[in-house]
Amino acid sequence: MQDAAPAPADVPPEAGLRDRKKEAKRAAIIAAAQAEFIAHGFAEARLARVAARAGVAKGTLYLYFDSKEALFDAVLRGALPLIFAPPEAADPGIPPQTAFRLRLRAAIADMQASGRDKLALIVLSESAQFPGLARIYLETILEPLFGLVRDYASSSGVARLEPLTRYPQLLLAPMLAATMWNRLMTERPPLDLPELLETHLTLVLGPPEGEAAPLTG
């Protein structure tokens, strides 16, 4: 009879507290950086202001992020929690199209409510000077979204959606256009991004499952 494996050593309470404090400090730095980037863009963002807003020394900030680009990357990775969160068990009672629409709408609504939609404009306007921004945005935001669109289009069984497996940009481009509109056309009422998304999805995918298409005369 084999001896039972020794139980893992208990984690000292002090170590757990240190880890929680470290994670809280990292989250505060990311939140401060997001506010700084939204307010000033990438080029004019100052790490000293980020540190001051987060309540840490500038040297402490560098213990967590070794460059401004690394900090921008971290901000973007927190921008779409519904895209990056581990997948939960699918509810068999929710039709696939409904689940897809809800996930996209929640992500877009979160971006607009938090002001993080402005990060896309930073990438558009400053990537010529800072090429790394486009790479970061592609890897952290666009590719996960494109993957979501491709997965839905390929599993839907709807032949007319097949082009979205090759050009997922077609489904998401109006969101970028609407973000630019809200930024540039400030004399007009801002567009509601979640509502615009829902309208666009209905045009492309048809009405939500379970809803009849409107009658046309």
Is the same domain home to 67 and 86?
Answer: no
Asked whether residue 5 is domain-assigned, the answer is: no
Is the same domain home to 134 and 200?
Answer: yes
Is the same domain home to 67 and 97?
Answer: no
- More confidently predicted of 93 and 55: 55
- Please enumerate in sequence order all residues whose Cβ is within 8 A of that of 27, keeping only pairs 6 or more positions apart, or say none: none
Q: Does residue 135 carry a pLDDT above 50?
A: yes
Domain containing 96: what range?
Answer: 81-205
Is the same domain home to 105 and 56?
Answer: no
- Percent over 70 (pLDDT), the chain: 83
- 74-114 pLDDT, tens per residue? 998 877 665 655 455 456 677 888 888 888 888 888 888 88
Q: Are 50 and 32 in contact (CB under 8 A)?
A: yes
Token digits of residue 1: 């009879």
Token digits of residue 204: 């492309």
| Banded pLDDT at 4 (limits 50, 70, 90) | low
Note the pLDDT of residue 11. Answer: 54
Asked whether residue 214 is domain-assigned, the answer is: no
Asked whether residue 114 is domain-assigned, the answer is: yes
Note the pLDDT of residue 197. Answer: 93
Is the same domain home to 64 and 113?
Answer: no
Is the same domain home to 42 and 108?
Answer: no
Q: In CATH, what number is assigned to the domain containing residue 63?
A: 1.10.10.60
Total domains in the fold of the chain:
2
- 150-198 pLDDT, tens per residue? 999 999 888 999 999 999 999 999 999 999 999 889 899 999 999 999 9
Is the same domain home to 119 and 169?
Answer: yes
Note the pLDDT of residue 217. Answer: 46
Cα within 13 Å of Cα(16), Cβ side: 4
First to last CA, the chain: 81
Is the same domain home to 37 and 91?
Answer: no
- More confidently predicted of 98 and 15: 98
Is the same domain home to 151 and 173?
Answer: yes
Note the pLDDT of residue 216. Answer: 47
Asked whether residue 211 is domain-assigned, the answer is: no
Q: Are 180 and 172 in contact (CB under 8 A)?
A: no
Is the same domain home to 42 and 128?
Answer: no
